[in-house]
Amino acid sequence: MKKIYTLLLFLLCFSGYAQSPEKMTYQAVVRDANNTLLNNQTVGVKISILRSNITGVSVYSETQIITSNLNGLVSMEIGSGTTSDNFSTIDWSIGPYFIKTEIDPTGGESYSIIGTSQLLSVPFALYAKSSGSSIPGPPGQNGVDGVDGADGTNGVDGADGADGVDGTNGVDGADGTNGVDGINGVDGVDGTNGVDGADGVDGAIGPPGSDGQGGVSLAGTGISISGTGIITDPYEISTLLPTYELNTFYAALGGYVIDINSDGKHGVVLAMKDQGYDNWYNANNLLNNPDNHDTDGAQFRDWRLPSKRELNLMYLSYLNGNPASLVGATYWSSSEFKYDYAWLHYFFSGQQDDVNKVNPFNIRAVRSF
């Protein structure tokens, strides 16, 4: 992975020489992106002197290979590096000048750390050489004050001092009040049934019972007995219950099957229309009024509010094509949270919550078969 390094601090110290060759001393501290000093490491440095502004023309550039010290500090003399320019020909009197620093932490020339700052002063010997005279002229009139420059960037934080001795622990504060309970998430889909356990050992055979009277047994589907007369024991009439499919409408059941047992004979059916919009307390009055049901649903009087789990099954049906014409609103459940609160389901968001029973919401009936 490529490391990212940052030049976090410039320390500039210039010194000019009255005679050629002119040089300036330059120091900088190099850190990586984690603010860790790059100590005792060979780095490649490129220095450029720019005229007028931070993107101005380079009047001089040089490169050097330097090793940082234990504190990550690199020191060099500008004017003594590898260059094709002439440091002594810089006219320091026609500034301002800026110094651009580029550093390759690997010691090559792939510079990844770049910083530019203005040279706010120039060594006297260098300035005097470029100006042609070391004797200052008469002072000119004071110019108009310039606009205040922008604040400079904050310097790098100094190293943390040693940790002080831990103070004694204060007295524990009083416990804060409990926060409001978050909204319960939607119930997950029921998992698949586990594997049936092995059959137990058959019990001992009991003693034979006494013989009963001869009787007639009628079994099967569609058994019908009509007319007048008397059927006396031990006649037995039985019929096989029909089986049903999940997620299917049955007029004979009064609605749409949203839950079913493994034998397909018992489950929960959902009414095909809402029975009204009212508070929780008045829900049963609306559920058991045939006028609030369609023709198929009006045949039954055992309609009830769905449980919290059954509300979630209704919501899954709503997401899967909505065959029972549910609406993207809020439906009551029969599940109580406390004496004056009950659970409901937001079909527009899929969340469940508990609210006061006096609030009005949509009512949709279910029944067991």
Domain boundaries, the chain: 5-131, 249-368
Helices then strands (H, E): number in the chain?
3, 18
Average pLDDT estimate for 287-307:
96
Q: Rounded distance, CA 10 to CA 114, Å?
A: 11
Q: Considering only 143-147, 150-154, 360-364, which range has the smallest mean pLDDT?
A: 143-147
Q: What pLDDT score does 183 carry?
A: 76
Supply the pLDDT for residue 14.
44
| Alpha carbon distance 80, 188 (integer Å) | 75
For the chain, what is the mean pLDDT?
A: 81
pLDDT of residue 313: 97
Please give the residue that has the higher pLDDT: either 198 or 358. Answer: 358
Is the per-residue pLDDT at 330 higher than 70?
yes
pLDDT of 328 above 90 = yes
The per-residue pLDDT for 31 is 86
Q: What is the mean pLDDT of residues 143-171?
A: 77
Q: Are 353 and 342 in contact (CB under 8 A)?
A: no
What is the model's pLDDT at position 212?
45
Thinking of the domain 5-131, which architecture would CATH place it in? Sandwich (2.60)
Question: What is the rounded distance in angstroms from the CA atom of residue 345 to the CA atom of residue 309?
Answer: 10
> pLDDT band at residue 124, thresholds of 50, 70 and 90?
very low
The CA-atom distances, in angstroms, between 169 and each of 165, 166, 173, 237, 357 are: 12, 9, 11, 83, 48
What pLDDT sits at residue 11? 41
Q: Is the pLDDT of residue 22 over 90?
A: no
Around Cβ 89, how many Cβ atoms within 10 Å? 10
Overall fold of domain 249-368: Mannose-Binding Protein A; Chain A (3.10.100)
Higher pLDDT, 350 or 198: 350
Q: Which of 273, 268, 269 is CA-nearest to residue 292?
A: 273
154-158: average pLDDT:
79
Give the least confident one: 56-60, 209-213, 287-291, 357-361.
209-213
Mean pLDDT of 207-233: 51
Take residue 347 and report the two structure tokens written for it: 């079909």
Mean pLDDT of 355-363: 98
* pTM higher than 0.85: no
Question: Is residue 282 over pLDDT 90?
Answer: yes
The CA distance from 61 to 65, in Å, is 14
Q: Looking at the predicted structure, is the pLDDT value of residue 13 above 50?
A: no
Q: What is the pLDDT of residue 154?
A: 83
Q: Which of 40-44, 100-104, 230-234, 303-307 has the highest mean pLDDT?
A: 303-307
pLDDT at 260 over 70: yes
Residue 276 has pLDDT above 80, yes or no: yes
Region 53-73: mean pLDDT is 93
Could you tell me which residue, 161 or 228, shows the higher pLDDT?
161
Listed in sequence order, the residues at least 6 apart from 65 whose beta carbon sits closer than 8 Å to its beta carbon are 42, 43, 44, 45, 107
Average pLDDT over residues 342-352: 96
Q: Which of these ranges, 11-15, 62-66, 157-161, has the smallest mean pLDDT?
A: 11-15
pLDDT at 103 over 70: yes
- The pLDDT tens digits of the residues spanning 191-203 come to 565 565 565 565 5
Burial tier of 280 (Cβ tally within 10 Å: 0-12, 13-18, 19+): buried
Residue 179 pLDDT greater than 70, yes or no: no
Residues 116 and 100: beta-carbon distance below 8 Å: yes
pLDDT value at residue 185: 60
For a pLDDT cut of 90, what percent of the chain falls above it? 51
pLDDT of residue 255: 97
Sheet (strand 24-32) strand order: 5-12, 24-32, 73-78
Please, are residues 279 and 344 in contact by the beta-carbon 8 Å criterion? Answer: no
